[in-house]
């Protein structure tokens, strides 16, 4: 792919636990998510769900015999907190850079993710997006870039 090596693509969702989950499909947009809390908070109308398999970041390392990740890109529509907060520190030690879009979640603030990444040794650079939900007076998502 683009003359790059060691690129893996697979049909699975990422989450804080391995198994099977429902992927909730939104009727009017592309904000499909395994986090129904995220979707319900914004009042996204879900017209269906499908069962998908999910893996964890630990599974990425173990199932593919990965020793290190130079660049990890995450965009998982509301389950970023669950995914990263349930990853053991030893795996973060093997990840050099992370870029992720994090989404508003009713249980967490963006600052929780920023502090979490800083506490495990990353330099964190948030890029707040002009992505507002004016009826709820909140920012919906932001980008975070973290590196060791």
Six-digit token pair at 114? 């920023």
Position 9 scores a pLDDT of 76
Q: What is the residue-averaged pLDDT of the chain?
A: 81
Position 134 scores a pLDDT of 44
pLDDT at 140 over 70: no
Q: How far apart are the first and last CA of the chain?
A: 26
pLDDT at 39 over 90: no
- pTM score, two decimals? 0.78
3-state SS string for 61-123: HHHCCCCCEEEEEECCCCCHHHHHHCCCHHHHCCEEEEEEEEECECCECHHHHHHHHHHCCCE
Six-digit token pair at 132? 């507002």
Q: Which residues touch 146 (CB under 8 Å, ≥6 apart)?
A: 97, 98, 99, 117, 122, 123, 124, 125
Q: How far apart are CA 28 and CA 92, in angstroms?
A: 36
Q: What is the pLDDT of residues 83-116, one digit of tens each?
A: 999 999 999 999 999 999 887 777 888 889 999 9
């Amino acid at each position: 792919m683009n003359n790059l090596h060691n690129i893996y693509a697979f049909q699975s969702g990422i989450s804080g636990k391995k198994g099977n989950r429902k992927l909730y499909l939104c009727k009017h947009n592309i904000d499909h998510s395994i986090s129904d809390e995220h979707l319900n908070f914004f009042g996204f109308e879900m017209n269906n769900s499908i069962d998908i398999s999910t893996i964890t970041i630990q599974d990425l390392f173990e199932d593919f015999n990965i020793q290190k990740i130079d660049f990890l890109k995450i965009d998982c529509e509301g389950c970023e907190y669950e995914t990263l907060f349930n990853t053991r520190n030893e795996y973060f030690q093997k990840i050099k850079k992370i870029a992720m879009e994090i989404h508003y979640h009713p249980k967490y603030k963006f600052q929780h993710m920023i502090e979490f990444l800083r506490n495990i040794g990353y330099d964190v650079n948030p890029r707040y997006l002009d992505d507002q939900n004016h009826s709820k007076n909140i920012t919906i998502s932001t980008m975070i870039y973290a590196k060791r």
